[in-house]
Structure 1
Amino acid sequence: MSAPLVVSIPHRLGREEAARRLKSGLGRAAASIPVMQVEEERWEGDRMNFRIRALGQVAAGQIDVGEDQVRVEVMLPWLLQRFAELAQATIRKRGQLLLTRGDGK
């Protein structure tokens, strides 16, 4: 099995506000990526476990909300690993927008 794709996104919001923004805007941010759909989103405290489908492949991961950073970890199936660099840049960009503007667009 390959190593997970990990993206850390720094913020200055504090844990509670960062989690609030992610909870309220994550679905809209994901919906703006046409080849991806969120199949599961389950919050347990400051951690969200998720499962997404992209290009017919399923990937699972988690988001951990910290006081000054959000850490996204995704296990990509082999087909999606070819797009790991693009996925990492997209996750970072969408996450930064969500944490700074609050709408993820």
Structure 2
Amino acid sequence: MTDQSATWASEGAEAAGFVRAGADALTGGKRLRARFCLAGWQAVAETRSTDDSPAVPGDDVIAAAAALEIFHAAALVHDDLIDNSDTRRGRPAAHRALEAAHRAAG
């Protein structure tokens, strides 16, 4: 998140706010999809291993696990829009938080 915030901060307040909103959508949760992805990879990697050393996940599987979490967060934001939900995980839903920010900005 920090790297993206710094990258987009130079593009203006709206861009930086959008990155913050995206990061907020990823806050919380149990990260089960990513854990299942890594556990599945680990199970396959261990059966293919030729020695007793534990397999270490590479960048590709880490990227896939992160992509699953981002996809799920996007699905939750979409679900909140469709259902017109006001909250998600005890906080304002993404569209409500953005609405409040726009109202506060006038």
TM-score calculated relative to the size of structure 1:
0.27
Q: Which has the higher strand share?
A: 1
Higher relative contact order (CA 8 A, sep 6+): 1
Q: Which has the larger radius of gyration?
A: 2
TM-score calculated relative to the size of structure 2:
0.27
Q: Which has the higher helix share?
A: 2
